[in-house]
Amino acid sequence: MRLFIWLVMAFMLAMPARAELVIEITRGVENPIKIAVVPFRVKSAGAFDVDLARLIESNLERSGQFVRVRRDTMLSLPGPEDQIFYRDWRAIDSEYTVVGSLERDTDGLLVRFGLHDVYGERVLFAERIPGSSDSLRDIGHYISDRIYEALTGLKGIFSTRLLYVSAERRSEKDQTFKLILSDADGGRPQTIFQSSEPILSPAWSPDGSRVAYMSFRGKRAGIYVQTLATGEVQKVSDFPGLNSAPSFSPDGRKLVLTLSRDGNPELYVANLRTGQLDRMTNHFAIDTEASWSPDGRSILFTSSRGGKPQLYMMNVSDKTVKRVTFDGDYNSNGAFTPDGESIVFVHRTNERFHIARMNLKTREIRILTETDLDESPSVAPNGTMLIYATSDEERGLLGLVSMDGRVRVRLPSVSESVREPAWSPFFN
Partner 1 sequence: MSILKQAKTVGIIAILAVLAGCAGQVNESAQTSSKVESAEDRAAREARQAEFLAKQEAAKTAEQLRNSAMAADTLFFFDFDKSDLKQDALDDLDAHAKYLAADRSAKVRLEGHADERGTRAYNLALGERRANAVARYLVIQGVNRSQIESVSYGEERPLSLSRDENGWSRNRRVELIYQ
- Site of interaction with partner 1 (CB under 8 A): 167, 172-173, 175, 177, 198, 200-201, 214, 219-221, 241-242, 244-245, 258, 260, 263, 265, 286, 288-289, 302, 304, 308-309, 330, 332-333, 346, 353, 373, 375-376, 391, 393, 419-420
If the CB atoms of residues 186 and 309 are measured against partner 1, the closer one turns out to be: 309
Sheet with 408-411: strands ordered across: 24-27, 408-411, 396-402, 385-391, 375-379
If the CB atoms of residues 194 and 332 are measured against partner 1, the closer one turns out to be: 332
If the CB atoms of residues 209 and 304 are measured against partner 1, the closer one turns out to be: 304
Q: What separation in angstroms does the CA of 351 have from each of 304, 305, 328, 367, 370?
A: 18, 21, 10, 14, 12
For residue 321, list its beta bridge partners.
Answer: 314
If the CB atoms of residues 145 and 266 are measured against partner 1, the closer one turns out to be: 266
For residue 367, the minimal CB distance to partner 1 (Å) is 16
Label residue 55 left, alpha or beta by phi (over 0 means left) and psi (-120 to 50 means alpha): alpha
For residue 354, the minimal CB distance to partner 1 (Å) is 12
CB distance 224 to 238 below 8 Å: no
For residue 12, the minimal CB distance to partner 1 (Å) is 21
For residue 307, the minimal CB distance to partner 1 (Å) is 9
If the CB atoms of residues 159 and 325 are measured against partner 1, the closer one turns out to be: 325
CB distance 28 to 407 below 8 Å: yes
For residue 112, the minimal CB distance to partner 1 (Å) is 46
Closest CA to 139 of 186, 106, 100, 105: 100
For residue 321, the minimal CB distance to partner 1 (Å) is 17
Chain-centroid distance of CA 9 in Å reads: 25
For residue 332, the minimal CB distance to partner 1 (Å) is 5
If the CB atoms of residues 88 and 197 are measured against partner 1, the closer one turns out to be: 197
List, as own/partner pairs, every contact residues 238-244 make where C-beta atoms lie below 8 angstroms and the sequence separation is at least 24, other chains included. Answer: 242/288, 243/214, 244/200, 244/201, 244/214, 244/288
If the CB atoms of residues 159 and 215 are measured against partner 1, the closer one turns out to be: 215
For residue 175, the minimal CB distance to partner 1 (Å) is 7
At residue 138, what are phi and psi to the nearest 5 degrees?
A: -60, -45
Residues 6+ apart with CB under 8 A from 326: 310
* 3-class SS of residue 146: helix
If the CB atoms of residues 57 and 287 are measured against partner 1, the closer one turns out to be: 287
Q: How far apart are CA 36 and CA 73, in angstroms?
A: 10
